[in-house]
Amino acid sequence: MKRRQFITLLGGAAAWPVTARAQQHRMPSIGVLSSFTQTQSQPQIAQFLRGLYDNGLAAGQNVAIEYLFADGRYDRLPALAAELIRRPVDLIFAAGPPAALAAKAATATIPVVFVVGFDPVKAGLVASLSRPGGNVTGMTLINNELGQKRLEM
């Protein structure tokens, strides 16, 4: 074997693990941005994890989850949302109205899913309940308006 062939073979063998690693798919990640403390968020996180599991996703197995808690200090939410974007995550789950507003302000490309207890249209989170538009969608717990509709029926 000639020297050039040997060097080419050695270089190719050395590069193979790097190339193989680069072709591996990255595990999808979800960033959980909570307005509350970790302790306050535990019941919601348990439900969130159960919902993921029921849909074939298990934390640490086929989806990574990054948790960031504002501990009731809403002024920290913009920086925490920016941190999730830098990591980067594939989706942001915003727990609590201030977290949803901070996540929407932080990104126009990463999907944001929220749970809020107010009208997301009036708050400017979505364009409408039936067609939210943009990268933000979620669930609202607006019982007052829904109660009136039920009474009408």
- Which domains, and CATH codes, for the chain? 29-151 (3.40.50.2300)
The whole-model pTM stands at: 0.75
pLDDT at 20 over 70: no
3-state secondary structure the chain: CCHHHHHHHHHHHHHHHHHHHHHCCCCCEEEEEECCCHHHHHHHHHHHHHHHHHCCCCECCCEEEEEEECCCCHHHHHHHHHHHHHCCCCEEEEECHHHHHHHHHHCCCCCEEEEECCCHHHHCCCCCCCCCCCCEEEEECCHHHHHHHHHHC
**With 90 as the cut, is the pLDDT of residue 53 above it?**
yes
Give the model's confidence band at 6: pLDDT under 50 very low, under 70 low, under 90 confident, else very high.
very low
